[in-house]
Amino acid sequence: MTQQNTDPVGADVEPTPVGAATSEVATVPGVATVHTAPVRREALYFARRNKKLLGGLAVVLVFLLLGLLGPLFTGDDPLAYVGPPSASPSGEWLFGTTTFGQDVFAQFVHGLRATFFVGVVAALISGVLGMVIGFTSGYRGGLLDEILNMVTNIVLVLPVLAVLMVVVAYLEVRSLTSQAIIIGLYNWPWVARAVRAQTLSLRAREFVDLAKLSGAPVHRIIFREIAPNMASYLFMVFILLFGGAVLFAATLDFIGLGPTDGTSLGLMLNQAKQWSAMNLGLWWWFIPPGLGITVIVSAMYIMNVGLDEVFNPKLRES
């Protein structure tokens, strides 16, 4: 199946509070309070000093810039035949050329764009979907909970490849957006489970009871009492979703279920495999794209660890 597209730090299988910072928020009965100003300031104070967070962020930004600005320098068509075939990296061709004489560096920077796009969009979709289902399921409980649980299980059980192959066979032209949507629609179950578990534990807390007694409507309770306490956790969930989406997209592209136009890092690997770059020793064709993905996703994961330290005082190194 696909690579372990579940949370590497274990938050999906059991609601381990490792990734959760259920900070105590001072509330006055009847008045919903989000993180008070001092708490936000404190988070920022630590955020600015956390090496992992800053380092990871810097790396991601560098690649993002490369993806945004790079194509301006390398021209519009990364698939054009511009140079001698199978040339090794040199001053002229930073990453060498493919067996067809295409500029690997141009493909790389264009691929970065695609990667970031899919990562962000898919993460948003899965995140929102997972959170909505998780909150509702955890907060409401009862029959609704059971039904949503079953839906979650079914999506987990469906072989994604099967669905994809059908979709792929139907859509003549596949775009980045449709790939992002499909990934988004597949990756949410672990989020729903984790959010549900967190909601369950928060629901039983006193400040929620107080809010209920004061007559606040359900959505207000969820948004102003429960969600802010999980805000830090949700942030980290997004980061993990982004990383997972990037890896998943790369896998899909590699198998050949990716977008039909343009290029992406996964597609580069696909091409490299297909045209025996491995056997021919054209290492500059397959090492950069894989390395790019590895570095970006690693940076995201390390950012995640940094964020955990920022939000959870116990983890900070004193």
Partner 1 sequence: MGRYFGRKLGIYVLTFFVAVTINWIIPRFMPGDPVRTMVSRAGLQDPAGVAAMREYYTNLFGFDLPIWQQYLNFWGELLQGNFGTSLWAYPQPVGSIILAAVPYTLGLLLPAILLSWWAGNKFGAYAARKKVLDNTVLPVWYVLTATPYMWLAILLAWALGKVAGIFPVGRSFSASLQPEWSWLFINDLISHWFLPFLSLFLVMFGGWAIGMRNLVIYELEADYANYLGALGAPQRLVRRYAFRNALLPQVTGLALQLGVIVGGQIVTEIVFDYRGLGYLVLQAINANDLFLLQGIFLFIVIGVLVANFIIDIVYVLVDPRTRVGMSA
| Relative orientation angle of helices 104-140 and 176-186, to the nearest 10 degrees | 30
Q: Is 116 in the site for partner 1 (CB under 8 A)?
A: no
Judged by CB under 8 A, the residue of 266, 284, 309, 310 near partner 1 is 266
Nearest-angstrom CA–CA distance, 291 and 305: 21
Q: Which residues contact 18 (CB under 8 A, 6 or more apart)?
A: 9, 10, 11, 308
Judged by CB under 8 A, the residue of 8, 30, 84, 313 near partner 1 is 8
Q: Is 289 in the site for partner 1 (CB under 8 A)?
A: yes
User: Which one of 66-74, 105-113, 150-158, 173-181 is the stretch in contact with partner 1 (CB under 8 A)?
Assistant: 150-158
Beta bridge partners of 81: 102
Minimum Å gap between C-beta 240 and partner 1 is 10
Token pair, residue 293, equals 């993905």
Q: Pick out residues in 227-256 that bind partner 1 (CB under 8 A).
A: 243, 247, 250-251, 254-255
Q: Pick out residues in 161-200 that bind partner 1 (CB under 8 A).
A: 161-163, 165-166, 169-170
Q: Which of 139, 312, 164 is nearest to 252 (CA)?
A: 164
Between the alpha carbon of residue 98 and those of residues 102, 107, 113, 313, the distances in Å are 5, 10, 20, 50
Nearest-angstrom CA–CA distance, 83 and 94: 12
Q: Which of 124, 170, 164, 131 is nearest to 2 (CA)?
A: 164
Q: Is 60 in the site for partner 1 (CB under 8 A)?
A: no
Minimum Å gap between C-beta 246 and partner 1 is 8
Q: Is 318 in the site for partner 1 (CB under 8 A)?
A: no
Interface contacts to partner 1, rule CB under 8 A = 1-4, 6, 8-10, 12-14, 16-19, 146, 149-150, 153-154, 156-159, 161-163, 165-166, 169-170, 243, 247, 250-251, 254-255, 266, 269, 272-273, 278-279, 281, 283, 286-287, 289-291, 293-298, 300-302, 305, 314
